[in-house]
Homo-oligomer: A and B are copies of this chain.
Amino acid sequence: MSILVVGSVAFDSVETPFGKAEEVLGGSGTYFSTSASFYTNVDLVAVVGEDFPQEHVDFLKSRNIDLSGLSTAEGKTFRWSGTYGYDLNEAQTLDTQLNVFASFCPQLPESYLQAEYVFLANIDPELQLDVLKQVVRPKVVACDTMNFWIDGKRDALINTLKYVDILLINDGEVRQLADEPNMVKAARKVLAMGPKTLVVKRGEYGATMFTEHGVFSAPAYPLETVYDPTGAGDTFAGGFMGYLASVRDHSDAAMRRAIIFGSVMASFNVEAFSLERMRSLEFSEVEERYRKFQLLTEFSGID
């Protein structure tokens, strides 16, 4: 089962207290696709400029990511640059150059239209809906967004959310979207907007999933070497959706395992700049870290 993802493919320039990387491969679509590719096939919808090098195309192809939906437009590829302080929790954006992304108007290739699993990465909510409409009969639709759209395109976002099953955003975004400081109350308000599942990404504090069944909380994996948190959220989403699509099971138990797989993928990704850690990652390492998550969280009952 393949997953369709629409998002950005970009050049990132990142500086953290542990080093810097200039114009390296990045973008929400890239991180998501690469992470999900460990579990299933991925159909990528994105746009790059004429400056996008063949080596990055080759890398994505090597991960079995279908690039029929990756168009090349006249102009330059989307660029983002940012820095992180010692806590690595929040990026400070230094510069965003939309370039070819400014007029991105995705048209899905015929081969993508049957997609059952769809991930709408963090782009304009109107574009998210445009893409979703093209898919004939999606089975599971997941979506990300950010403060910029919650604030600037609130109505469009709320309209898109009506058609979304799983919303994956960070805790500040949940509070902003619901206009409610208490997370439990905020989650309930968000679930009333359409999504049946809300996954709250909390960076170094892990992730919490709210559904009609209740709440599931997972810590982040304690790491000694966090070099670059860029892409952690999309890498998480890739592991989460990739696992769900691979097992075709949307039970609460499967969703919980998917949260752990997402956490595992994100924990590897932040260990190096760009997607460097993904390039060398083996699935046996993923499984090993999944087991370490069990050791990290298990405790016995009192009965």
Contact = CB atoms under 8 A, between A and B. Distances in A.
Interface residues of A, number: 41
A186 to B, nearest CB: 10
A299 B216 contact: yes
A296 interface: yes
A171 to B, nearest CB: 9
A194 interface: no
A251 to B, nearest CB: 10
The SS class assigned to the A binding surface is mixed
Contacts of A226: 182
A197 to B, nearest CB: 15
Interface string A184-222: 110000000000000000101110100000111111001
Max chain B CB contacts within 10 Å: which of A259, A298, A299? A299
A239 B117 CA distance: 45
Contacts of A217: 206, 219, 222, 296-297
A280 interface: no
A256 B219 contact: no
Interface of A: 17, 86-87, 181-185, 202, 204-206, 208, 214-219, 222-226, 253, 256-257, 259-260, 287, 290-291, 294-302
Given A182-B225, A218-B299, 11 more contacts: A86-B181, A182-B223, A182-B224, A184-B224, A214-B296, A256-B300, A257-B299, A257-B302, A287-B302, A290-B301, A290-B302
